Chains A and B, each alone.
Chain A
């Protein structure tokens, strides 16, 4: 009997000690909590979420279940769940452009997360603009997105190529300052017989195509003399997408499609990265993933030869107010914050809101997000100051020269004086769908750039009227960081 009592006591003591040990490891303790996150199909973003999930599990003992949907399915899946007010997802990762559609169903970020060192470390373009909706924070950036320029340094540094280029075009071969130079370079390197093409961009409907077009057009339409007038007139909400600046952008985008590999019209961003990393093209534009993938020797043939720069610009920008071209003393780059970087938020209907916001804190911490940013294939690009400042971190994947150019291009773009914000509007997909359709027709030569954009403008104005012009105007001004109109 005594022996049995002793055994029981020993067992109880061991259990208590073991239990307290587990408790000490979980801080805060979310044992038994499983968070479900909606994500696009990996590896992009889903793998970053899994990276954050592993860290969060180690820290809190909670679990994270990342549910993946193809890009084209993500919006309907999240929208259906949110509008039904069901608790399918504890967290949703989404494009900033969808925020106006989702905001009514999202919980506000806890105030304590909106202060401190980690908060201030987020680049102002995200913290003060993309994460804000009508003065409140409903989501956290988990990725930074701005289009930049990528090129093959081995080709650009080759003295023979330099001489030949100068002889043909009359200026030095270097990262382009204007889109005209960008097309000249693409034309110069168009050598199908040698398996080398000029450029790679996304042209496929449903393949992130329209952001590439917007990047071209931003240079001619994002006018600092009339702020926020790139997509719509911020006074009247009249569509601007068929003005001469946009038409010029489209003409150059179509020209770029003819200076790419033969299947370029079927390229989405994934194929762009493959073409760059495969050494098939001399230059390209796109998100920061391109540089990271191209630098990775496991995925790339041009590792060690990757150059980066800010997107080309223009010294002439269309003024939507005066309806004239404004001439600037020098070329003004208009880096386009295409897509704006993935955001993550907590639905109001979620049953584990506290745990969900805690997961976001871990996921977007400088350490975890910094690791994700240098891991090729996570889809995470720099969005914190610490991401671009920590050169040592980037030396793991880039050579020092590559790292300097890459981080310089990222930081200069996000902090650029004339940075162009992406469109964020209720009914976003209704607006972009017609763009995709008309771009497809224009790229296939079935219609002229002007006719295609006239159709888009007509549909945009119709949609604005249908959704309520005053309401859309207020949303557009908020998205562009303009004060409400009296």
Chain B
């Protein structure tokens, strides 16, 4: 078969059409629904409200609270995942004793289901029966309201996110570190560059492209957090730990408010897109410098 043989269209287009139908149709359906007032329970006939759902959402303090909570979880946890992950990856790359064991052990959290991790965390943070508070009270400290106070609950969720997803960062950065050329470091050592100078002058800039990719992936994934919050706090106390996805779940699958939930999903999509585009725009000059 020649490269320009028209028969290729017979093989390509059905697959393309199937993919388009599967990915585009739900989006169009969801977009259409977002312009309707449409409740499944109690059943109310759909009625066109155009941008009504979007306007209601933008005026809804709970929506803004969910945005803020999700952003806090995403940015704080990803920043710490990156800092800790980079440090551990550097240590593993330096061939510390028992490096292989560490490498496997550190990957374990990432392999666990988030629901299971959240359940274990809920037990650990249990104010009376949990081992953490029992440990703290050994030193005469008061029981801490880990999951019943808004700020503490948010901190606990962030801690669990860091524990579970830092291994992913370690794995990716370690792979990157192992591809860095040795001769650059040898040259730096001939110039008597300190370890700190080598890190800021060589390692960090050369790792920037992979770092950008890792942080981008984790940031987007963190914005989608749902299971951990659902199990650990259910979004409470009040709505202090309610994330965007949990808010959408409550509206969609508890109240069956489909129009409103579709609008919420699209606003979520817009928010993620803005964050992603801004992030890449900010990084572009630095990345281009490295080319």
Beyond A101-B42, A467-B42, is A441–B238 a contact (Cβ under 8 Å)? Answer: yes
A440 touches B236 (CB 8 A): yes
Identify the closest chain B residue to A102 (Cβ): B41
Chain B residues touching A, majority SS: loop
B235 touches A205 (CB 8 A): yes
Give Cα A466 to B56, complex, Å: 13
Choose one: B235, B237, B256; the contact of A265 (CB below 8 Å). B237
Q: Does A79 contact B (CB under 8 A)?
A: yes
Give Cα A101 to B147, complex, Å: 33
The residues in A between 423 and 472 inclusive whose CB is less than 8 angstroms from any CB of B are 426-427, 429-430, 433, 436-438, 440-441, 443-444, 446, 466-468, 471
A206 touches B41 (CB 8 A): no
Choose one: A263, A429, A467; the contact of B254 (CB below 8 Å). A429
Q: Does A481 contact B (CB under 8 A)?
A: no
Beyond A427-B41, A429-B254, is A205–B237 a contact (Cβ under 8 Å)? Answer: yes
Total A-B pairs, Cβ < 8 A: 88
Closest chain-B Cβ to A468's Cβ sits at a distance in Å of: 8
A104 to chain B: which residues have CB within 8 Å?
A: 43
Q: Does B176 contact A (CB under 8 A)?
A: no
Give Cα A446 to B238, complex, Å: 9
A468 to chain B: which residues have CB within 8 Å?
A: 44
Q: Does A19 contact B (CB under 8 A)?
A: no
A446 to chain B: which residues have CB within 8 Å?
A: 150, 238
Give Cα A436 to B234, complex, Å: 11
Give Cα A131 to B216, complex, Å: 54
Closest chain-A Cβ to B190's Cβ sits at a distance in Å of: 60
Chain A residues touching B, majority SS: helix
Most buried by A among B44, B147, B256: B256
Give Cα A100 to B42, complex, Å: 8
B236 touches A205 (CB 8 A): yes
Q: Does B197 contact A (CB under 8 A)?
A: no
Beyond A72-B234, A205-B234, A266-B127, is A444–B42 a contact (Cβ under 8 Å)? Answer: no
Beyond known contacts A76-B256, A429-B254, A437-B236: 15 more, CB 8 A cutoff: A76-B253, A76-B254, A79-B256, A205-B234, A205-B235, A263-B148, A265-B145, A265-B148, A426-B42, A427-B42, A427-B255, A430-B255, A433-B255, A440-B240, A466-B44
Residues of A in contact with B (beta carbons under 8 Å apart): 72, 75-76, 79-80, 83, 100-101, 104, 204-207, 261-263, 265-266, 426-427, 429-430, 433, 436-438, 440-441, 443-444, 446, 466-468, 471
Q: Can you report 22 A-B residue pairs in the complex whose CB atoms are below 8 A from each other?
A: A75-B254, A79-B41, A80-B253, A83-B41, A83-B256, A104-B43, A205-B234, A206-B236, A262-B143, A263-B128, A266-B127, A427-B39, A430-B254, A433-B254, A437-B62, A437-B236, A440-B237, A444-B149, A446-B238, A466-B44, A467-B42, A467-B44
